[in-house]
Amino acid sequence: MNRVLELQDITKVFHLGSMISRLRITAVDHVSFHVGSAEIFGLAGESGCGKTTIARMILGFEEPTSGQIIYRKKDGTPVTGKEVWRTAGVQAVFQNPFETFNPLRQVERYFFEAVHNFRLASSHSEAVARINKALEAVGLSYKEIAGRYPAEFSGGQLQRVSIARSLLTEPSLLIADEPVSMVDASIRMSIMNLFRELVEKFGVSVLYITHDLATAYYVCDRIAIMLRGNIVAMGDVEKVLVKPRHPYVELLRECIPETDPRKRWAAKVQLAESEQEEYLRAGCKFAGRCPHVMERCQRESPKDILVDGVLVKCFLYS
């Protein structure tokens, strides 16, 4: 499988507080993964695990403290550093479409601006044709958006408009950060199906960032589960989520509701420490909540181990 995006040992450290009493928070801790050609790769975990920080580094909003991010253009040319987000081949779809667009600006202006900035057309009619083609890919048309403002669309429609805008440059990689968390449940599956169609019809690769394991299982090919800056499990989505190897993934899996009255919640859940405490914890970041915790978990950080095709960071398999 050709690799469109590759993260090599990425670390991001933030310093909080005053110069006298500064806290060092490692938001992303030596993370490595790749996104293949025409693949939907999921990056999942609870709030504060570091997944959005990774997206921000890929898009150039944050600089990695160490490590390298490599994007490969359609011709295979590698691009690193700030050049990654400057290329037309990498585009983003964000969580809230109503924050993506200025409410006082007509939506079509964003499309014409992108066409102009990337020199995608030499005339107005050619620009309209290009915009219409992108909109048709998401089930809309230029006539449906012309002259309209963001408030005149539903959340699902506006998210489709946002995806269409990202398709104008014919990218090879979409960074989708929680793209369905702000839309109605009835619309989520249609957007998930849209991502799958983009992969199958146009060969687009997608880095799908989410806290929702149900949608991740539905749409992703492979997945990485993050906990406090670490990837604790990574592999084929079926292997990672259906038969969890890591205790944290098992906990997340049990939190997904099932429509079976016989399967009522019976387990006693250990509440998490504060986000800051877990980040600063020595050893395994899940030790404070893990039902299988051992003495060494409190002082040592586990290594990655391959278990039945799944990369797992846990002492249970060492």
The answer to whether residue 48 scores a pLDDT higher than 90 is no
The confidence score (pLDDT) of residue 86 equals 76
Q: 155-167 and 185-202 helices cross at what angle (nearest 10)?
A: 20
- The answer to whether residue 20 scores a pLDDT higher than 90 is no
Q: Is the model's pLDDT at 273 over the cut of 70?
A: no
Poorest-pLDDT segment among 19-23, 154-158, 188-192, 223-227: 19-23
- Is the predicted pLDDT of residue 62 greater than 80, yes or no? yes
C-beta separation of 312 from 245 below 8 A: yes
- pLDDT reading at 47 higher than 90: no
Per-residue pLDDT for 270 more than 60?
no
Sheet holding 310-313, edge to edge: 90-93, 173-177, 205-210, 40-44, 222-227, 230-236, 310-313, 304-307
Query: What pLDDT is attached to residue 167?
Result: 95
DSSP code of 270?
P
Q: Whole-number mean pLDDT of the chain?
A: 89
pLDDT digits (tens, 9 = 90+) for 171-202: 999 999 999 887 877 788 889 999 999 999 99
Query: Domain residue spans in the chain?
Result: 3-89+169-244
Chain centroid to Cα 158, Å, comes to: 19
Task: Name which of 131, 178, 135 is nearest 158 in CA terms.
Answer: 135
Residue recorded with tokens 């839309």: 183
Predicted model pTM: 0.91
Q: What is the rounded CA–CA span in Å between residue 130 and residue 119?
A: 11
Rounded to 5°, angle at Cα 153 from 152 and 157: 170
pLDDT at 256: 66
Structure confidence at residue 232 (pLDDT): 97
Q: How far apart are CA 198 and CA 164, in angstroms?
A: 11
Distance CA 97, CA 155 (A): 7
42, 216 contact by CB (below 8 A): yes
- The mean pLDDT value for 74-102 works out to 86
Kindly tell me the burial class for residue 47, based on how many C-beta atoms sit within 10 Å of its own C-beta (0-12, 13-18, 19 or more).
exposed
Please indicate whether residue 81 or residue 290 has the higher confidence score (pLDDT): 290
Architecture of domain 3-89+169-244: 3-Layer(aba) Sandwich (3.40)
Task: Using alpha carbons, list the distances in angstroms from residue 263 to 255, 260, 291.
Answer: 12, 6, 20
Over residues 305-317, the pLDDT tens digits come to 999 999 999 999 8
Find the radius of gyration of the CA atoms of the chain. 21
| Contact by Cβ (8 Å): 155, 187 | yes
Q: Report the pLDDT value the prediction gives residue 276, as an integer from 0 to 100.
A: 65
